[in-house]
Structure 1
Amino acid sequence: MNISAATTDPDKTGNELKAQRFQMLADIARELSGEVVFPTYFDAVLRLRKVLNDPNQSVANIAHAVLAEPLISAKLLHLANSVAYNPEGKNIVDLKSAIVRLGLSVVHTAALSIVMTQLMRAKGMAEFADTTHSLWEHSIQTAAAAHVLARENSRINCDEAMLAGLIHDLGAFYMLYRASQYDELRHRPDTIKYLIVQWHESIGVSLLNALGLPEEIVEATIDHDHLRNQPSTIRTLSDVIYVANMLSGGHIEWVMQDQSGTSDAITQLEQQYCNLRPAIDALATELRGSLK
């Protein structure tokens, strides 16, 4: 992804533009201090989350709840019959069987992926198309890398890792959505990037908490774009997301441009996990087709 924060961009010095950037951050801060207001299509995930988090719900009841969201239903059936989850080629046609095959974590992941793609297509987001597309590609690649890395460690749940990888940059997506509500920011998409660099991680943590994601997943996304000592062995979900994020390129160079040693750190990780690259790329291709 070729995103460069043009520090000499004259648009960044305009008083009107500064005012709108400040207003956007103030509005987000107000939301995060109270009840977070999501775009309407987050409602489906919030409703589904309540059902998935209820231990007394049967698979039949979960399937009934999912059926209320036709787009999610179609995605789950498609995903359940994909090579990743159906290597023997035994296709299923009912939602209940799809949920059993996928597991509840994957159902939640698929639902969130739909929300994120809907977020990219929201009214006013066209001006941010290049940025959102690159962020989505990075998210897919990170999800695949997280799944493969977790598979190498029996103590870490692969599906949980894939979900964490998919949504680790949700804060950036949400900031772009909020920026689309302001004319000056929408028509000058490059000027919002440095705000995302500074704020997307903390905003993302607040959003994930509001969505009711497990504490372990939320904690794993904290400071994922900040250089740290290279883990010689992956032991935690946080290690998985950090390494997966670094291995997935995309906006890393943009977000981490002011951190010295970034290139060396990524090169070292690439060398350390080069044997996993074919599996990561294959899974990313599979996810790209089933979650789009």
Structure 2
Amino acid sequence: MNRLETFGLIAAQAERGEIIFPTSVNAALRLQLALDDPDCHIENAIKLVLGEPQLAARTVALANSAAFNRNGEATVTNVRAAVMRIGYRSLQMLVASLVVRQFGSRIVNPLVRAKAEQLWQHTAHVAALAKVFALRVTLVNPDTALFAAIVHEVGGFYLLSRADEFPGLLDADPENWIQLCEEVVSREVMRKLAIPDTVMDAIQNLRSSLMGIPPASLLDTLLLANQFAPVQSPLALQAPAMPVHEETALDFVLDRATLGSVLQEAADEFQRLSAALLV
């Protein structure tokens, strides 16, 4: 089977809903669906978190991280207190991060595993940047921006998880078949994960849209975050670097001093979240 046939097979499987999730993700998926229900009771959420030991441990770790315990409050030692401290939105972000990370957990090839780790580092930096750009520039909901950034490369993670089955899948790709296949896979994986339509639309339009001036949407937020992420996706076409001193349309919205402040704040946000998300 040649590479084009391989991409066609994976895309066709995705469109038929044949997305293969690691078994360890099942509890996280149940929790994701439950949290989407506006009537979800906290007792149900706690029960589902406890059903996945890794998620339970990360929930407690996140509650004790600098991102949620900046005032040095008492250390949280149980899931109930952790869920109460971080809230449902942050729990959704944590669940999403667990799901995308688990795609890489079954990769055997060390070169592919390295690509999965780079993709996760890229994702985490984009998430931190998206949250800060949402707060400081686009004024969209920062929790939504953070969540969207966490799942924006889910198609890439899924392709990496299939690379062991298809040697050569991630070889040099001048025809850009990887990204075409990833777009199909990403759409179907997000549907299976019940990602909200507004988030799906922003992610699906990332590669084909220009940023609005002034940037004011979730899509603009993700475009900004990807543009300034210090770690690039290993699956993306390399865009030419922005000249440091060249004026752009963005300069009329965000001066250099403010941009420097935003990037530093995002770096700090990355460090605050990394202990809970990157383990």
Residue in structure 2 matched with residue 159 of structure 1 by the alignment: 143
Residue in structure 2 matched with residue 43 of structure 1 by the alignment: 26
**Residue 250 (structure 1) aligned with residue 224 (structure 2):** no
Q: Which of 187, 204, 207 is the aligned partner of 1:222?
A: 204
What is the one-letter code of the residue matched to 2:67? Answer: A
Counterparts in 2 of 1:70-109, with a 5 A limit?
A: 70-90=53-73, 91-109=75-93
Asked if the contact 2:107/2:113 (under 8 Å) is kept, the reply is no
Could you give the per-residue CA deviations for residues 32-80 of structure 1, whole angstroms, max 9, x where no partner exists?
2335332323322221122212333321221111101111011011001
Residue in structure 1 matched with residue 268 of structure 2 by the alignment: 282
**1: CA distance between counterparts of 2:17 and 2:191?**
12
**2: CA distance between counterparts of 1:246 and 1:168?**
14
Residue in structure 1 matched with residue 241 of structure 2 by the alignment: 263
Tell me how far 1:248 sits from its aligned partner: 0.7
Gaps of 5+ in 1: 1-15
Counterparts in 2 of 1:194-209, with a 5 A limit?
A: 194-209=176-191
Could you give the per-residue CA deviations for residues 175-203 of structure 1, whole angstroms, max 9, x where no partner exists?
11122212x337xx434694323332342
Q: Which of 206, 212, 225 is the aligned partner of 2:194?
A: 212
Tell me how far 1:21 sits from its aligned partner: 4.8
Tell me how far 1:125 sits from its aligned partner: 4.3
Could you give the per-residue CA deviations for residues 126-146 of structure 1, whole angstroms, max 9, x where no partner exists?
330221121111100000000
Question: CA 1:37/1:60 → structure 2, altered by over 3 Å: closer, same or farther?
Answer: same
**Residue 26 (structure 1) aligned with residue 3 (structure 2):** no
SS of match in other structure, 1:190: coil
Structure 2 length-normalised TM: 0.85
**1: CA distance between counterparts of 2:121 and 2:46?**
29
Residue in structure 2 matched with residue 3 of structure 1 by the alignment: none
Tell me how far 1:289 sits from its aligned partner: 1.9
**2: CA distance between counterparts of 1:112 and 1:126?**
24
Question: CA 1:168/1:59 → structure 2, altered by over 3 Å: closer, same or farther?
Answer: same
Residue in structure 2 matched with residue 190 of structure 1 by the alignment: 171
Gaps of 5+ in 2: none
Paired positions, count: 268
**1: CA distance between counterparts of 2:163 and 2:241?**
30
**2: CA distance between counterparts of 1:42 and 1:140?**
19
Identical-pair percentage: 24
Which has the higher mean CA deviation after the structures are superposed, 88-97 or 120-129? Answer: 120-129
What is the one-letter code of the residue matched to 2:39? Answer: N
**2: CA distance between counterparts of 1:55 and 1:177?**
32
Residue in structure 1 matched with residue 106 of structure 2 by the alignment: 122
Residue in structure 2 matched with residue 8 of structure 1 by the alignment: none
Q: Which has the higher helix share?
A: 1
Aligned-residue CA RMSD in angstroms?
2.7
Tell me how far 1:205 sits from its aligned partner: 2.3
Structure 1 length-normalised TM: 0.81
Q: Which of 164, 173, 181 is the aligned partner of 2:165?
A: 181
